[in-house]
Amino acid sequence: MARRITLGAAQLGPIAKDESKAQVVERMITLLRIAAHNAVDLLVFPELALTTFFPRWYIEDLSESDHYYHSKMPDADTQPLFDEAKSLGVGFALGYAELAVDDAGTVHRYNTYLLVDREGKQVGKFHKVHIPGHAENEPWRVFQHLERHYFEPGPEGFGVWEAFDSRIGMALCNDRRWSETYRVMGLQGAEVILIGYNTPLHYSPDPTQNALAGFHNHLVMQSGAYQNGSFVVGVAKGGIEEGVDSLAQSVIIAPSGQIIAQAITTGDEVISANVDLDFCATYKGLLFDFNRYRMPEHYGSLTVKPGAKTPPPES
Ligand code: ING
């Protein structure tokens, strides 16, 4: 019996700075209902889905940005979303800013993804690993990208969770650009990798890359999918948000690397695809049979420092 699942991407358009979480949750519930109408089993929301992309503004005292974070999930703002999803029988992944306090009482601020199954059970939580941008206000930039001021990398790394009769992995935005992200989950048997992103079309450090933003976005996710025999759901917060134009082009990608669904707007939009999870095996079990063909003992050290010169062959 084929293991079929309908994957969905809930792309969000711009979220204004003065838009309340309740207003955003209403938009997300509308997308949930559209997804349910299309028999979606797992709907993926973008990174930091509940607010405007606040790392675009420098607030020196982090405690003054606490209103962007959530210390528990669900909470009063998000309970309606969790209730609606459960009543519709739609599982989802939610990107949000998490404020966590560890046993020693230390506050940690994470860029977080939460996976919830169709019965409303919280299956797994991921903390973004690759934190891009900068930590100090840099006025030379057209706009700020202060994720390194607002977030620390998660200590747990990349995990895979048994859910939806499959093995689900999660990553966030800049994580998708690093090949290790996919391979670490591929080695854990990931069949579906969920990735939310906020990616401005302008890259201040090198604007020559602007024209390639869409190409690079799909390039890395298609490669990651293919090289690990996994489906990838890439979901944007897109459009012109507080004057900054961000890439949309959300996609659902097959283990072949082919794009099987793509958003056509830069706003709120649901795309979906009904897929056979056993299709992963046609890549994992043949070309990318890790146990048979992967050669970690011949790769040398993965801890080579950037710029290290490889020793000349023995003369
Ligand atoms: N955003 C970006 C990303 O990796 C970035 C960081 C911005 C990279 C612009 C390149 C150009 O897509 C997040 N949130 O990681």
Q: What is the pTM of this model?
A: 0.96
Does 315 have pLDDT greater than 60? no
The parent domain of residue 9 ranges over: 4-298
- The reply to whether 305 falls in a domain is no
The residue ranges of DSSP E strands in 256-306, in sequence order, are 259-262, 269-276
pLDDT in tens, 269-299: 999 999 999 999 999 999 999 999 999 999 9
Tokens, residue 99: 């404020």
Percent of the chain with pLDDT over 90: 94
pLDDT, mean of residues 224-235: 99
Does a structural domain hold residue 76?
yes
- The CATH number linked to 205 is 3.60.110.10
CA distance 234 to 116: 17
Structurally, how many domains does the chain consist of?
Answer: 1
Determine the distance separating the centroid of ligand 1 and the alpha carbon of 139, expressed in angstroms. Answer: 18
32 belongs to a structural domain: yes
pLDDT of residue 313: 67
Structural domain includes residue 310: no
Q: Ligand 1 site: residues with CB under 6 angstroms?
A: 132, 145, 173-174, 177, 197-200, 203
Task: Write down the catalytic residue from 84, 125, 173, 284.
Answer: 173
pLDDT tens, position by position, 28-59? 999 999 999 999 999 999 999 999 999 999 99
Half-sphere exposure of 194 (CA within 13 A, CB side): 35
Extended strands (E) in 151-198: 160-163, 166-172, 192-197
Nearest CA to ligand 1 atom 7: 199
Average pLDDT, the chain: 97
Pick left, alpha or beta for residue 300 (phi over 0 → left; psi -120 to 50 → alpha; otherwise beta): left
Q: Is residue 311 part of a domain?
A: no
Predicted pLDDT of residue 1: 84
Residue 223 within any structural domain of the chain: yes
- Is residue 97 situated within a structural domain? yes
Residue 85 forms part of a structural domain = yes
